[in-house]
């Protein structure tokens, strides 16, 4: 993760790797682009990746009802969720092994005790991870008819083409123009001369 701060705002660049496919995704967060300062409602300024998939997108605006239902479910008594978990076990499309369920139930019991007041607070509960959120989302859809989003928000990361010719040959003019624009931005930034020279050197090494 990389964090950039200024008096006016902040930027985060976060990258994750899928161990199965070996593909990486890069997430860009900008403070001024957050909707109502929400970290769970379309929070990313951009998501870059070389491939598209069909993810369960819980931060899509279409998933707002799912987030709301999930919060209501964890604030209700944990035993009420038991019958819903039994339904999930019978679903062929629900690819989760039985050993996940005890951990999910333990995490959701902790959430019930804490009574989170927002989806962001739910994410901060210890033990609540991808499996718990996925289970809550599917229960929200099955029981309450809440809409799930399977939309992949990523954009392809190849802005200039690849040096190996894939997915298309490298566009050197566009490549050099991008470097020039970044160099101009560095020169106009409120940095000392030494910092500017170091930034430009790092930029050249990067490209």
Query: Considering the domain boundaries, does residue 171 fall inside one?
Result: yes
Query: Considering the domain boundaries, does residue 13 fall inside one?
Result: no
Domain count, the chain: 2
Count H helices, E strands: the chain?
7, 5
Identify whether residues 132 and 65 lie together within a single domain. yes
Query: Considering the domain boundaries, does residue 180 fall inside one?
Result: yes
Q: What are the tens digits of pLDDT across the range 170-182?
A: 667 766 766 676 6
Q: Given this model, what pLDDT does residue 114 score?
A: 95
Query: Considering the domain boundaries, does residue 2 fall inside one?
Result: no
Identify whether residues 139 and 164 lie together within a single domain. no
Identify whether residues 72 and 103 lie together within a single domain. yes
Q: What are the tens digits of pLDDT across the range 105-117?
A: 889 899 999 999 9
Identify whether residues 128 and 71 lie together within a single domain. yes
Identify whether residues 130 and 68 lie together within a single domain. yes
Q: What range does the domain containing 124 cover?
A: 61-144
Query: Considering the domain boundaries, does residue 101 fall inside one?
Result: yes
Q: Could you identify the residue written with the tokens 């999910």?
A: 104
- In this prediction, residues 194-199 reach a mean pLDDT of 67
Percent of the chain scoring above 70 in pLDDT: 72
| Angular region, 13: left φ>0, alpha ψ -120 to 50, beta rest | beta
Would you tell me how many other CB atoms lie within 10 Å of the CB of residue 165? 9
Q: Given this model, what pLDDT does residue 133 score?
A: 93
């Amino acid at each position: 993760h990389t964090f950039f701060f200024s008096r006016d705002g902040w930027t985060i660049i976060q990258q994750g790797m899928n161990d199965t496919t070996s593909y990486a995704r890069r997430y860009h967060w900008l403070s001024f682009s957050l909707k109502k300062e929400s970290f769970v409602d379309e929070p990313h300024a951009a998501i870059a990746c070389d491939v598209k998939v069909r993810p369960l997108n819980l931060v899509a605006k279409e998933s707002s009802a799912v987030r709301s239902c999930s919060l209501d479910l964890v604030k209700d008594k944990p035993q009420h969720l038991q019958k819903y978990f039994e339904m999930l076990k019978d679903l062929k499309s629900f690819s989760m092994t039985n050993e996940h369920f005890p951990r999910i139930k333990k995490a959701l019991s902790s959430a019930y005790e804490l009574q989170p007041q927002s989806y962001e607070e739910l994410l901060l509960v210890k033990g609540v991870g991808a499996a718990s959120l996925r289970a809550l989302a599917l229960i929200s859809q099955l029981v309450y008819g809440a809409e799930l989003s399977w939309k992949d928000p990523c954009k392809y990361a190849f802005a200039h083409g690849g040096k190996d010719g894939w997915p298309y040959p490298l566009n050197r003019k566009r490549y050099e123009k991008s470097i020039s624009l970044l160099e101009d931005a560095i020169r106009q930034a409120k940095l000392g001369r030494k910092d500017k020279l170091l930034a430009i050197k790092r930029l050249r090494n990067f490209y």
